[in-house]
A and B are shown apart, each in its own frame.
Chain A
């Protein structure tokens, strides 16, 4: 009886671990976070501040200059970031930037290919703010999103 309980416990744990692994690799559940350099003067940002910075509506938070960087168009993490923090789908975001680009009022953030490029960019310039998958966070960056 005890051995079968342990067997069932092991089976349950194994299933749970597998499920956990599945959850971790499934893109639908990947979490996106906003990061800056670990040494950056930029502090924690509210959801509204993040939205304003990435839509080019402001270039300072508090009295600190912030420069946003994007992941490339079509990147799943980028789509998730804009849906979660800004509430815009990819075409809605494109139309938004078209209005600014083609009225000479602004340019979208610079685009980078992947998480590693974003981490390098925020470390090269402490005023840079970017977003990466939560799983890509390491000691070189700190999370500033709520």
Chain B
């Protein structure tokens, strides 16, 4: 990972140095002839090659743009390797294959290439059991990695719905907690579908709709495949490309009149395939979804949620695919209609490739366009011509056919790669500008930008031209000047104005930055081609397409039923498991999360019924309710309507409740779990030497930095605060800024902590309270010095006190920042153009006397609690079994996995359980950084009255910043308030 990042950074650096030449070359590619283009790009690529650094596929692609693609395949068997690194040959599912199952194992093959040209790679593989993530491999040709992307070739795992046929109600497809179907469908978990499958190596971002093309000369080549992640068995590898699919006219000409399926009396030849009943899918997030918006989606129920559609926002990444098995009574040509809804991408099309029995039948099916519309519509495969419509028929065999729809970017791929390139280029220009003007330029000053950055005008003009061309492509595709095209035009206009008159740049800098952000946002919207489908229907060619809706009267009736049932159905209760249990011993659990999370927990409870038993073998019944457990929890407890257990409780609540005697101590359950957690996970949950919560999550800060900027400036991510100040100085010389959150405003919780102050304090060996937790220790030398260092960051080093980390990090004007490690998720999902350009590291530390660096900090924790009512109801044992099960490694890992599967990487869970953490999708390097930081985390105990701590420290800080106090004086004064409150609370709770 590290090596990769550096390589990437270096290559970007090179790109930057040869910026003007290369940029002009790429920008003008459409205007120039291929030879001209080649000469110019050749220079760049040669420069790249000469320094043996990796180029991106963008450069590689452009360099080889005029080379021919080889049609037909050269295959080599997986077992026929010439060299290998301890790879095993095994028979997997009846096929002899080579198995790669531990990190960096590799195999080498010798292949004989018939002619010079571009070759796609297609691999016949089998997913071996491992951590359930997609398999990643590196492809090297003759010992070299041809382009950066070749290091992360993904081979997706296949999945299917995990359905237990015994629990499925009559006539339904999905499980339901009620045998008659009178309840919400339970979203099935996804289980691996282990079958042999063949897949081309493609770009998941969708910038290239064809597979990655490797340029190979005629003759023998050594191709090495190295495993990066997971485990895989390989049966064969093929090099080459499919011939272009035939046109529909050629396709249909193959069939005679007898092949057209016509409706026949007494025989229903129509095949309706509910889209949610899939055979397989190639991503774990492609689970069944539901549409409750109207009566027409099948199947439906006014009161309950029925899983009746598939796709939605998760089905938006290039290559994501559903496979259905449809049974045809008669072989022949059918008319295909799809009931679909595309209300995700306004003004744009979502493209899908249709395959019948593994092959795209004709060219027109390579990218079927689903247009944007708010409601559902029927799309009948055809020429799409309004005046002269013609349906396209597809041929099905008698018996089982496999039908698949694959997400593809179609002809939008060129737009995507242009925009990605533009964003990188404009960000580079932006950074060059602010290195002269700073981010907050003086508009009345002439910075002589044209002299300071001689290439500026040309760069801007080239960028403008490039954008103009991109906009034209978009308009050609969408046919209208939709919102995407107008966003590009808006950016083009701003860039153009700057190019004409560089003197206005200081004044327009913020709008220039906003424009780049707009463009960056487009990558996510254009590259995400979401679609939702209800069913596919194959009909005899002479039948009319079924209507899209059920008509007004039915819809009205359905809506009325929906409204009426909203009074009777308890939507907050996800399910009551245990129809056999009598009411008294049900463990009532409250959870304050979204519905998806609650559903996952519910499913976990159901799946683990065998683990949820008391010592005498009695099954535990659990009732899960979604309640926002803030003040409600206390009020409900007071009125006797509270739960027995509550999950996802902030770190100060257990202490607050325990001090009032509302909780049961959980100390005796710690021993069995202790080795799965760091000690810091438990600390906040102690009150008077008893433990009152079991840890669920733990969050702390990491250092985020832009590898490209760091490479460019020749600096290393800082390890200590001294390094940090040094790096900060270098960055500030170029008018770049560093982000350190002043006060953790995102976590406004009472004791969320004053995160930066904490870091200095903890690293000094300081702590909040004295040993008997009766007083703070801020007015010690350690406290004063930590407070002073904290204040100095803003008063002396002039850091911004509030900033928008995400957008500033994205443009690169803030290439270094300390942020909660959950920011990783946001960057990963919402800033795809930055992939590979940033990295995480441990926070700066303080050098200790023995030479080690203390990178300590505090964490924010959450946990689960057991309330007094569990004792009065005599279900303490059952509740404790549940809680211990819930925080255990297996459950937390499964929850995390399911959560990520349901909501994507953006929802990556941050378990306090360190064993569960290992099962998450972090790469080894990322996990190592997080673990190293985690080990140094301490947590502060929670004590009554500590809500005043954050307030007082904040006020002390602000009074210094507002020039009202000196740091020491402020801390001393406000510290008195904290201690007074602590004392008062100690008396109230009878501790003193």
- Do A and B share a complex? no
B contacts, CB < 8 Å to A: none
A contacts, CB < 8 Å to B: none
